[in-house]
Amino acid sequence: DVKVTQSSRYLVKRTGEKVFLECVQDMDHENMFWYRQDPGLGLRLIYFSYDVKMKEKGDIPEGYSVSREKKERFSLILESASTNQTSMYLCASSLWDGDRGTDTEAFFGQGTRLTVV
């Protein structure tokens, strides 16, 4: 079974703190993603990575950065946490289907509910 593990289920941080959300996958997937999920807004892509040290901005990258030093690990960094970053954060990984030029299914972690006070 593919496993995507996020380091924390619940996190409370203060405004202005630097926050690290860690994600590890154990299936040698090339692609990894960070989403945030807010009521009424669905899933929004923050960043994704298709290879070690490679990253691409998603739809809402402002206020975030990422790091992928090893294939299995993808970290999301909130440089200076703000209250509007209070949200559910979901990490996912997927295998690239080279024949079809697209991803197969995404496997999600359990999510990190971040509260910034």
Partner 1 sequence: AQSVTQLGSHVSVSEGALVLLRCNYSSSVPPYLFWYVQYPNQGLQLLLKYTSAATLVKGINGFEAEFKKSETSFHLTKPSAHMSDAAEYFCAVSGTSGTYKYIFGTGTRLKVLA
Nearest distance from residue 52's CB to partner 1, in Å? 15
Chain residues binding partner 1 by CB under 8 A are 4, 6, 9, 31, 33, 40-43, 45, 48, 50, 56, 58, 88, 90, 92, 97, 100-111, 113
C-beta of 19 vs 33, nearer to partner 1: 33
Phi-psi bin for 72: left (phi > 0), alpha (psi -120 to 50), beta? Answer: alpha
At position 57, the amino acid (one-letter code) is K
Q: How far is the CB of 81 from partner 1 (least distance, A)?
A: 21
Rounded to a whole number of angstroms, the minimum distance from the CB of residue 80 to partner 1 is 26
Q: How far apart are CA 73 and CA 77, in angstroms?
A: 13
18 or 25: CB nearest partner 1: 25
Closest to partner 1 by CB, 64 or 103:
103
| Non-local CB neighbours of 10 within 8 Å, separated by 6+ positions | 112, 113, 115
Q: How far is the CB of 70 from partner 1 (least distance, A)?
A: 19
- Burial (Cβ within 10 Å: 0-12, 13-18, ≥19) of residue 96: middle
How many Å separate Cα 64 from the centre of its chain? 10
Closest to partner 1 by CB, 84 vs 101, is 101
